[in-house]
């Protein structure tokens, strides 16, 4: 089987990641009435496309290779690392960026300061990750149930 062929499971996680990002774009557009294409590439937000992608990958590998396979175990560990990073390290970095931006605004009020602020929304809350994981698993299960 070819890596990128039509039978390859690589398309499931990629497509669910794209669908989640499109959902976030449309949600922001409707809510804020702001057509901002940067939302498509932005990290953070509900649900987590990272979690959706890795959980879709784990589900597809589990379906194809079985939950006792080495590749499934490897994918599951990879998914746990990605989701931990999304809620832990990147969430903390976003909170630190928010505090640093506030300090800079207060400290340099009225003085010329670089207008480039640190990116604050780079991580996910646990709920965003759980919902993203659920979306990824459901998407893949439904795919194998109805489309495959």
Q: What's the pLDDT tens digit per position in 12-63?
A: 999 999 999 999 888 888 888 878 777 777 777 789 988 999 999 999 999 9
Burial of 53 (0-12, 13-18, 19+ CB in 10 A): buried
Paired tokens of 65: 């290779």
The CA distance from 133 to 19, in Å, is 14
Question: Rounded to the nearest 10 degrees, what angle do helices 11-32 and 49-65 cross at?
Answer: 150
Q: Which residue bears the tokens 């990147």?
A: 90
- CB distance 122 to 90 below 8 Å: yes
């Amino acid at each position: 089987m070819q890596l990128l062929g039509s039978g390859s499971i690589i398309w499931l996680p990629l497509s669910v990641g794209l669908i989640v990002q499109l959902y976030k774009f449309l949600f922001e557009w409707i809510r804020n009435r702001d057509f901002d294409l940067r939302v498509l590439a932005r990290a953070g937000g509900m649900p987590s496309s990272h979690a959706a992608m890795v959980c879709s990958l784990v589900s597809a590998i589990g379906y194809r290779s079985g939950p006792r396979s080495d590749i499934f175990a490897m994918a599951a560990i990879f998914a746990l690392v990605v989701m931990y990073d999304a809620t832990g390290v990147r969430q903390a970095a976003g909170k630190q960026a928010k505090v640093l931006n506030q300090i800079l605004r207060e400290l340099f009020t009225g003085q010329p300061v670089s207008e480039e602020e640190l990116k604050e929304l780079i991580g996910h809350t646990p709920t965003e990750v759980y919902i993203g994981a659920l979306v990824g698993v459901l998407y893949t299960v439904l795919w194998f149930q109805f489309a495959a």
